[in-house]
Amino acid sequence: MPEEGMEDNKEGEERPKWNNKAEYLLTCIGFAVGLGNVWRFPYLCQIYGGGAFLIPYLIALVFQGLPLLYLELAIGQRLRMGSIGVWNSISPYLGGVGVASMLVSFCVSLFYNTIVAWVLWYLFNSFQEPLPWSQCPLNHNNTGYVEECVESTPVNYFWYRQTLNITPNMETSGSLQWWLVVSLATAWSIVYICFVRGIKTIGKAVYFTATFPYLVLTIFLVRALTLPGSSEGLIYLFTPDWEILKNPQVWLDAATQIFFSLSVAFGGLISFSSYNSQKNNCEKDAVLVGVINSATSIYASIPIFAILGFKAHTNYVTCLNGNILALTNEFDISDMNITVENYEQWFDSLNGTHPSRVSDLKLKTCDLQTFLDQSASGTGLAFIVFTEAVISMPGSQVWAVLFFIMLFSLGLSSMFGNLEGILTPLHDLKLVPKWMPNELFTAIICLLLFLMALIFCLGSGNYWLEIFNSYVGSVPFLIIAFFEIIAVAYIYGIGRFSDDLEFMTGHRPNIFWKVCWLVISPLMLFVVLVAYVAVQAQTPPTYAAWNPDYVNFPNTEVLPYPDWVFAICVLLSSVPVISIPLVAIYRLICCMSGRHSKDSLHNNPNPYANEDYVVELLL
Amino acid sequence: MRCLRMLVRILVLLYLAGAPALAQTLCQPNASNGYRVRISIKTALGNQAYEWNENEMFLFRATMAFAMRRYYKTETYNVDNIIVCNQTRRVSFWFVVISPENPTMLIPKADVEKAVSMSRHRINNAFLLTDRTLEFLGIYPTLAEPVNPDTPPWLIVFGVVIGAVFAGIIALLVSSLLQKRRKEKGMMEDGQDEEDRQMKGVENGINLDGIYNRGFTDDDRFTKL
Position A552 confidence tier, pLDDT thresholds 50, 70, 90: confident
Give the mean model confidence (pLDDT) for residues A64-87: 92
More reliable by pLDDT, B46 or A481: A481
Question: Which one of A127, A335, A439 has the shortest CB-CB distance to B157?
Answer: A127
d(CA A177, CA A169): 16
Contacts of A16 in chain B (CB under 8 A): none
**pLDDT given for residue A92 in this prediction:** 87
CA distance B119 to chain A (A): 19
A121 in reach of chain B (CB within 8 A): yes
CA distance A306 to chain B (A): 28
pLDDT, tens digit (0-9, with 9 covering 90-100), for B107-133? 888 888 888 988 888 998 998 888 888
Which bin fits A212, alpha (ψ -120 to 50), beta or left (φ > 0)? alpha
A365 in reach of chain B (CB within 8 A): no
Cβ count within 10 A of residue A425: 26
Per the annotation, binding residues of A for Na(+) are 30, 32-33, 37, 261, 293, 410, 414
Residue A450 has pLDDT above 60, yes or no: yes
CA distance A409 to chain B (A): 15
Contacts of B90 in chain A (CB under 8 A): 328-329, 332-335
Range with the largest mean pLDDT of A298-307, A603-612, B21-30, B203-212: A298-307
- Give the distance from CA A573 to its chain's centroid: 17
Residue A597 has pLDDT above 80, yes or no: no
Establish how many alpha carbons lie within 13 A of residue A295's alpha carbon, considering only the half-sphere containing its beta carbon.
8
Which of A383-397, A556-570, B138-152 is least confident? Answer: B138-152
Per the annotation, binding residues of A are 30, 32-33, 37, 261, 293, 410, 414
The percent of residues above 70 in pLDDT, for chain A, comes to 94
**pLDDT given for residue B147 in this prediction:** 63
> What are the strands, taking DSSP E only, across A493-598?
542-545, 557-560
pLDDT, tens digit (0-9, with 9 covering 90-100), for A238-274? 888 888 888 888 988 898 899 889 999 999 999 999 9
pLDDT, tens digit (0-9, with 9 covering 90-100), for A93-136? 888 999 999 999 999 999 999 999 999 999 999 998 889 999 88
β-partners of residue B82 are B97
Determine the 3-state secondary structure of A421 from DSSP.
helix
Residue A603 has pLDDT above 60, yes or no: no
**pLDDT given for residue B171 in this prediction:** 93
Contacts of A334 in chain B (CB under 8 A): 89-91
Position B7 confidence tier, pLDDT thresholds 50, 70, 90: confident
Residue A73 has pLDDT above 80, yes or no: yes
d(CA A39, CA A44): 9
Position B48 confidence tier, pLDDT thresholds 50, 70, 90: confident
d(CA B151, CA B153): 6
**pLDDT given for residue A488 in this prediction:** 92
Using CB atoms and an 8 Å cut-off, which of residues 73-92 of chain B contact chain A? Answer: 88-92
Give the mean model confidence (pLDDT) for residues A457-474: 90
Position A5 confidence tier, pLDDT thresholds 50, 70, 90: very low
pLDDT, tens digit (0-9, with 9 covering 90-100), for B178-187? 988 998 888 7
**pLDDT given for residue A610 in this prediction:** 58
More reliable by pLDDT, A210 or A619: A210
Residue A341 has pLDDT above 90, yes or no: no
Looking at this predicted complex, what is its ipTM? 0.79
The angle at the Cα of A377, spanning A371 to A380, to the nearest 5 degrees, equals 80
**pLDDT given for residue A11 in this prediction:** 42
Give the mean model confidence (pLDDT) for residues A9-22: 73
Torsion sign over Cα B47, B53, B56, B57: positive
